[in-house]
Structure 1
Amino acid sequence: MATVDLAEYTTMHVGGPAREFIAAHSEQELTDAALEVWGKGDELLVLGGGSNVVIADDGFDGTVLHVETRGIEHLAAEEGAVRLRVAAGEPWDELVAYTVEQGWSGIEALSGIPGSSGAAPIQNIGAYGQELSSTLTAIDFLDYDSGLVERVTADDLGLAYRTSSIKRGRQGIVVAIELRLQDADTTVAGYDQLAAALGVDVGARVAVAEVRERVLALRASKGMVLDPNDQDSVSCGSFFTNPIVSENFARSLPSEAPRWLEPDDVNVKLSAAWLIERAGIPRGFSLPGSHAAISSKHTLAITNRGGATAAEVAELARYVRTRVLAQFGVLLHPEPNLIGVSV
Structure 2
Amino acid sequence: MRVNTSSETQILAELDARTDVRLLDSEPLSAHTTLRLGGTPRAYLRAETTAAVAECVRALDAAEVPVLVLGGGSNLVVADGSVGDSVDDGELDFVVVAVRCEAIDISPGGLVRAEAGATWDDLVARTVEAGMGGLECLSGIPGSVGATPVQNVGAYGVEVAQVLRRVRVLDRVSGKDEWLEPSELGLEYRTSKLKGNDSGLVLEVEFTLHPDGLSEPIAYRELAARLGAEQGERVPAAKAREVVLELRAGKGMVLDAGDHDTWSAGSFFTNPVVPAAEFDAVRAKVAKALGDEAAEKMPAFDVMGGGSGEAGVKLSAGWLIERAGFRKGYPGEAAPMRLSTKHTLALTNRGHARTKDLIALAREVRSGVEDAFGVTLHPEPVWVGCTLSGES
Q: TM-score range by the shorter chain?
A: over 0.9
Report which of the two has the higher share of strand: 1
State yes or no: 1:62 paired with 2:94: yes
Letter in 2 for 1:52: N
Q: Is the 8 A contact 1:106 1:135 kept in 2?
A: yes
Rate the CA distance shift 1:170–1:45 in 2: closer, same or farther, 3 A. closer
Give the Å deviation of 1:191: 1.5
Q: 1:331 and 1:170 mapped to 2: Cα distance?
A: 26
Please, what TM-score do these two structures have when normalized by structure 1?
Answer: 0.95
Rate the CA distance shift 1:59–1:243 in 2: closer, same or farther, 3 A. farther
Matching residue of 2:154 = 126
Give the Å deviation of 1:290: 3.5
Give the Å deviation of 1:326: 0.5
Q: 1:320 and 1:195 mapped to 2: Cα distance?
A: 31
Matching residue of 2:103 = 71
Q: 2:249 and 2:378 mapped to 1: Cα distance?
A: 24
Matching residue of 2:74 = 51
Q: 1:184 and 1:107 mapped to 2: Cα distance?
A: 13
Give the Å deviation of 1:288: 9.2
Q: Larger deviation: 248-257 or 148-157?
A: 248-257
Give the Å deviation of 1:289: 5.9
Q: Is the 8 A contact 2:71 2:146 kept in 1?
A: yes
Give the Å deviation of 1:185: 1.2
Give the Å deviation of 1:170: 5.9
Matching residue of 2:57 = 34
Which ranges in structure 2 are unaligned for 5 or more consecutive residues? 1-23, 81-89, 284-294
Matching residue of 2:193 = 165
Q: Is the 8 A contact 1:311 1:341 kept in 2?
A: no
State yes or no: 1:309 paired with 2:354: yes
Letter in 1 for 2:296: S
Q: 1:230 and 1:200 mapped to 2: Cα distance?
A: 31
1:105 to 119, 130, 133: 133
Letter in 2 for 1:295: S
Rate the CA distance shift 1:288–1:191 in 2: closer, same or farther, 3 A. closer
| Percentage of matched positions with identical amino acids | 43
* Number of matched pairs: 339
Give the Å deviation of 1:339: 0.7
Rate the CA distance shift 1:21–1:33 in 2: closer, same or farther, 3 A. same
Structure with the greater alpha carbon radius of gyration: 2
Give the alignment of 1:128-277 within 5 angstroms: 128-169=156-197, 171-187=199-215, 188-252=217-281, 253=283, 254-262=295-303, 266-277=311-322
Matching residue of 1:20 = 43
Q: Is the 8 A contact 1:6 1:59 kept in 2?
A: no
Q: 1:59 and 1:147 mapped to 2: Cα distance?
A: 30
Letter in 1 for 2:271: N
Letter in 2 for 1:8: A
Give the alignment of 1:270-289 within 5 angstroms: 270-286=315-331
Give the Å deviation of 1:203: 2.0
Q: Which runs of 4+ in 1 moved over 3 A?
A: 287-290
Q: 1:287 and 1:60 mapped to 2: Cα distance?
A: 31
Q: Is the 8 A contact 1:90 1:117 kept in 2?
A: yes
Give the Å deviation of 1:73: 2.6
Q: Larger deviation: 3-12 or 289-298?
A: 289-298
Q: 1:198 and 1:204 mapped to 2: Cα distance?
A: 10
1:111-168 deviation line (CA, Å, top 9, x unaligned):
0000000011111000111100011111111101111311111110000000000114
Q: Larger deviation: 258-267 or 141-150?
A: 258-267
Letter in 2 for 1:268: V
SS at match of 1:182: coil
